[in-house]
Amino acid sequence: MADIVEIVAPVPGLVAAVAVAAGGAVAAGDPVVTLQAMKMEIEVPSEQGALGSRGIGEPPIVPGLAAVANAIADATGVRLTAAPFTPEAMLEALKARAPAPARI
């Protein structure tokens, strides 16, 4: 019988699904359990190899970038859709936009 390994969840949550029967074998990176946490489901893979990576740190960075994009759009009337928001990208977008209608 294989060694039993304790799995520690990356975040607190509720177990939504168990992908492996008790005592079942798993390969590195195979899903073991799915957690419901922070209004999303997180698959917890087996940590028996190099592919047991997680991407839970990415969701908190999305709102900041969206806020900057919205601020640029509000200030300039140009929507940048690809980061990084460089001065060169801003200049290209400003040159490419349709001219504003003339005010009378």
Report the catalytic residues: 58
CA–CA separation, 42 vs 36, rounded Å? Answer: 6
CA–CA separation, 96 vs 52, rounded Å? Answer: 44
Place of tokens 């917890």: 44
**The pair of three-digit structure tokens given for residue 84, joined into one six-digit string:** 């990084």
Omega of the bond prior to 99 within 30 degrees of 0, cis?
no
Distance of CA 85 to the CA centre of its chain: 19
